[in-house]
Structure 1
Amino acid sequence: MDRVPRTPPQPRPAAALSTGAVARRLGVSPTTLRSWERRYAIGPARREAGRHRRWTPRDIARLELMCRLTADGVPPAEAARAALGGGDEPPAGAAAPAPTPGGTGALPLGAVRPECRGLSRAAVRLDAPTVAELLEAALAEHGPVTAWEEVIAPTLHAVGRKWATAGERYVEVEHLLSWQISAALHRIRPAPEPPRTPPVLLACVPGEQHSLPIEALTAVLGQRGLPARMFGAALPAEALHDAVRRTGPRAVVLWAQSRTTADPALARSVAGIEWGLRGARSRPVLLLAGPGWSTEAPAPRTERLYGLRSGLAVIESLAPPRAATGAAGAGPFAYGS
């Protein structure tokens, strides 16, 4: 019996993306995409009912070429003509696009989320409004923990790598991006704090100016209704000791970015601070965060934090201290299970 020849399965067409999704991937605002469509006819090939734009992979490839050319200084009109013409050759007098997506100034990102590439492109262009918009979108869509780990932190690391290999160039990119990230984190509204709950105290060690990671941790703690007191960069040692005594925290998080700022003697002194009535005195759990600290704990009741998600889990596992009768502070506490 003759076999009926099989028709080979046809590959599924790639999913078309909305204007917002494409904007986040490319690091431009949706308004910019609509402006390019109106001015240069570089728009999507298809629309759905209700005039919703849907961008196919071929449409996005044209936009990516236009972004690379404009990042290299090509006027938008010329970049659009090159993109619509197939993009085999750049306009006369223009630098050839770099193999790295985004142009010669693109950041070395590797395999990351599309939103991360879009954020990096906007940061390299120093496009502060778009950086702010993309950060807000990432935080709203993924939540602060995933947004930090998979969008924000990879972009910051890429800026650092670019800066380290380019002399004094790209410092302005790091400063602009850091400012916008800090502003976006500060806009996260904290949940109401439960009454009479000891806070978590967060600070950078003296001389340490890099505070973004503990700003992210502070924002997440606040969002989850866990009381936190953030003291920012380079808190003097005496002020840190006073703050611990005055707040009676359940934990103290100390951030050190480098070995030159990490101070084991300071860590031991903070871990030894006591408060409360005699016979029912308490001490904080000390949590050391940042690459500056060694893996060995410098004092009892001290633990290293690694990453935002795992650090949050450690803090949430701390059992609140028992209230000391008649004391302004709180009694001793231990790790939860």
Structure 2
Amino acid sequence: MTAPTAPAPAGLTTGALARRLGVSPTTIRSWERRYGIGPAHRAPGRHRRWEPEDVAVLEEMCRLTARGVNPAEAARTALAAGAASRSESGPGTGQPAVRTGTASGGNTLPVGTVRPECRGLARAAVRLDAPEVARILRRSVDELGAVVAWTEVMTPALRAAGRKWVAEGERYVEVEHLLSWHVAAALRRVADRTEPLPGPAALLAGMPSELHALPLEALAAALAERGLPFRMFGPALPPEALLEAVRRTGPPAVLLWSQVTRTADRALVERVVRTAWGPHGARTQPVVLVAGPGWAGPRRPPGTLRPRDLATALGHLAGLLR
């Protein structure tokens, strides 16, 4: 007779759990050492294995610290919630009664030296924790304003997600898609909730071949916060449609976004600069701003302004609209 095979250990290793939560294994070990957040059950001589109820505690710890809660206080709250969940699950089930689930993510997003809100956003995005991503974005916009939220919270996280999937193939595309959708939703929420002041509105559009729209969404949100009127036409507005929109609305300013050089159509911009409206003898032309990395270089289209960032573009538009 042969000896029975030992059952495979259940649960996640620390490394696998770290990848799932978007934190480093060192962070998990530090939390265990400092705050007692560790596996509820350990087998002698084996690596630590994290059961579902242990994972739920760490997920709550990640959410709380992402919200700016002091780690010690976050640990006390997470452990108390875990203990309550285990007691409610009943004897012998081995599962918490209610578990705030998140889809498993990948590795961490290296965002560098950034605001705590950005670190929390990156961790939640890697976990594919959509409710937490949405909450962090809403709070960031409400507390910091659209310009700071875009510049210091959203943009570093989006860039890190883009770098990650470029380096790893298509493994992290889902992270960037989830993050981009929620960023757009958070910015659109601001742009839609404010009643603008009366008067001529700025025209915001992407160049005809340009598919990126998030920077335009950020600018629209910033204008809305200040009560400044605008019309958003989004990305990839065809040439004749762009010119017709300028003629029909008579904007004091037109901002055209280009993310990459191949979408920066200088000839079309010159046509927009020359577009006029109004009665004969009192014709008016718009001030045209070309924004985005696609317009980089020493030679910008004649008769245009080229703001270097969101804050500068907002300043130009505010002056023209007022």
Q: Give the TM-score category using the shorter length.
A: 0.5 to 0.7
1:142 and 1:281, CA in 2 relative to 1: closer, same or farther beyond 3 A?
Answer: same
Matches within 5 A, 1:188-227: 188=190, 189-195=192-198, 197-227=199-229
Match of 2:235 in 1: 233
1:280 alignment counterpart:
282
Are the structure 2 counterparts of residues 42 and 204 from structure 1 closer, same or farther at C-alpha, using a change threshold of 3 Å? closer
Is the 2:106–2:172 contact (alpha carbons within 8 Å) kept by the matching residues of 1?
no
Residues 206 and 258 in structure 2, CA contact (< 8 A), matched pair in contact too? yes
Q: Partners in 2 of 1:60 and 1:310 — Cα distance?
A: 39
Equivalent residue of 2:318, what SS? helix
Name the amino acid aligned to 2:122. S
Return closer, same or farther for 1:248/1:256 CA change in 2, 3 Å cut-off.
same
Following superposition, the deviation at residue 58 of structure 1 comes to 5.2
For the 8 Å contact 2:145–2:222, the answer to whether it is kept is no
- Can you give the 5+ residue segments of structure 2 that lack an aligned partner in the other structure? 1-22, 24-38, 40-52, 61-67, 84-104
Q: 1:289, CA displacement in angstroms?
A: 0.7
CA contact (8 A) 2:106 2:127 kept: no
Q: Distance in 2 between matches of 1:228 and 1:234?
A: 18
Q: Is the contact made by 2:289 and 2:305 (CA closer than 8 Å) also made in structure 1? A: yes
1:283 alignment partner AA: Q
**Distance of aligned partners of 1:217 and 1:235 in 2 relative to their CA distance in 1, 3 Å threshold:** same
Corresponding letter in the other structure for 2:319 = S
Q: 1:172 to 1:236 in 2, by over 3 A?
A: same
Instruction: After superposition, give the CA deviation of every residue in 1:64-108 in whole Å (9 maximum; x if it has no partner).
Output: 9x9xxxxxxxxx99xxxxxxxxxxxxxxxxxxxxxxxxx961111
The ranges of structure 1 where at least 4 consecutive aligned residues each deviate by more than 3 angstroms after the TM superposition are 39-44, 54-64
Q: What are the residue-to-residue correspondences of 1:1-337 with 2, within 5 Å? A: 40=54, 56-57=70-71, 105-188=107-190, 189-195=192-198, 197-295=199-297, 296-300=299-303, 302-318=304-320
Distance 2:70 2:177 in 1: 35
Higher helix share goes to which structure? 2
TM-score (norm 1): 0.65
TM-score (structure 2 length as normaliser): 0.68
Classify 1:191/1:55 alpha carbon distance in 2 versus 1 (closer, same or farther; 3 Å).
closer
Partner Cα distance (1:293, 1:315) in 2: 18
* Distance (whole Å) between structure 1 residues aligned to residue 69 and residue 227 of structure 2: 40
Q: How far did 1:167 drift?
A: 1.6
2:138 partner SS = helix
Quote the offset at 1:260 in angstroms. 1.0
User: What root-mean-square deviation, in Å, do the aligned CA atoms of Structure 1 and Structure 2 show?
Assistant: 3.2
Q: What is the count of residue pairs matched by the alignment?
A: 241
Share of identical aligned residues, percent?
53
Distance 1:62 1:173 in 2: 30
Distance 1:229 1:56 in 2: 42
TM-aligned CA deviation for residue 194 of structure 1: 2.8
Instruction: Say whether the 8 Å CA contact 1:205–1:263 is kept in structure 2.
Output: yes
